[in-house]
């Protein structure tokens, strides 16, 4: 079914929660990366997620697209920034779409996650609500929006879905304890 919907075989990534960006125009195998960009027509960028955030990027002229797998580790390390840099275009000309991810109410994290963001970008503190015993509830959508805004990207769409809560629509490792993935694709 997938082959009938897409113009070509997607570039499947071996995602490792890092900041490496693959180029779908040149990828011939399964690159170890957490983001993918493309400039050629019909080159398909793909990311697989469950509770992590898929971020799609494009410019209004249709000259470049990108797909980002933004788990908390990659997001804190700068995977969105790395993808935008690899796109080699003025960030202000980009649009972003935030796909389904775990909501703040269900995304409990430890102090190390809170510190990883706040130590680098102080305003990210607003994306965390204190929990109990050195725990926090993180808003991955807000964290991504803050990162995108800091780059100058203001056209941001999507967000607000919850992979944990919407069990009939989405996979959630935190909810089910088993691995299932959803594919998010973009191409020119």
pLDDT at 174 over 70: yes
| Predicted confidence (pLDDT) at residue 173 exceeds the cutoff of 90 | no
The whole-number pLDDT of residue 1 equals 67
Give the pLDDT band of residue 3 (cuts 50, 70, 90): confident
Residue 117 located in a structural domain: no
* Residue 121 domain-assigned (yes or no): no
Q: Is 87 a member of any domain?
A: yes
Residues 45-72 have pLDDT tens digits of 999 999 999 999 999 999 999 999 999 9
- Between strands 135-138 and 182-186, the pairing is unpaired
| CATH code for position 47 | 3.60.140.10
The pLDDT value given to residue 27:
72
Residue 70 belongs to domain spanning:
2-108+145-186
Bridge pairing between strands 94-98 and 155-158 = parallel
Our count of domains for the chain comes to 1
Average pLDDT, the chain: 95
Q: Give residues with Cβ within 8 angstroms of 43, minimum separation 6.
A: 8, 11, 24, 25, 187, 188
Mean pLDDT calculated for residue range 150-169: 94
* Whether the Cβ atoms of residue 30 and residue 13 lie closer than 8 Å to each other: yes
Per-residue pLDDT of 114-158, as tens digits, reads 999 999 999 999 999 999 999 999 999 999 999 999 999 999 999
Euclidean distance between CA atoms 117 and 59, whole angstroms: 27
């Amino acid at each position: 079914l997938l082959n009938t919907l897409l113009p070509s075989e997607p570039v499947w990534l071996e995602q490792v929660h890092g900041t490496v960006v693959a180029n779908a125009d040149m990828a011939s195998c399964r690159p170890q990366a957490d983001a993918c960009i493309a400039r050629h027509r019909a080159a398909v960028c793909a990311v697989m997620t469950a509770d992590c955030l898929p971020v799609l990027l494009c410019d209004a002229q249709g000259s470049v697209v990108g797909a980002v797998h933004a788990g908390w580790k990659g997001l804190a390390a700068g995977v969105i920034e790395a993808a935008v840099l690899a796109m080699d275009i003025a960030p202000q000309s980009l649009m972003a779409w935030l796909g389904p991810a775990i909501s703040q109410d269900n995304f409990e994290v430890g102090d190390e996650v809170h510190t990883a963001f706040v130590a680098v970008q102080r305003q990210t503190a607003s994306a965390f609500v204190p929990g109990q015993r050195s725990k926090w509830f993180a808003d991955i959508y807000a964290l991504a929006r803050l990162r995108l805004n800091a780059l100058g990207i203001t056209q941001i769409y999507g967000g607000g879905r919850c992979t944990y809560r919407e069990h009939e629509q989405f996979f959630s490792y935190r909810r089910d304890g088993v691995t299932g993935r959803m594919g998010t694709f973009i191409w020119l």
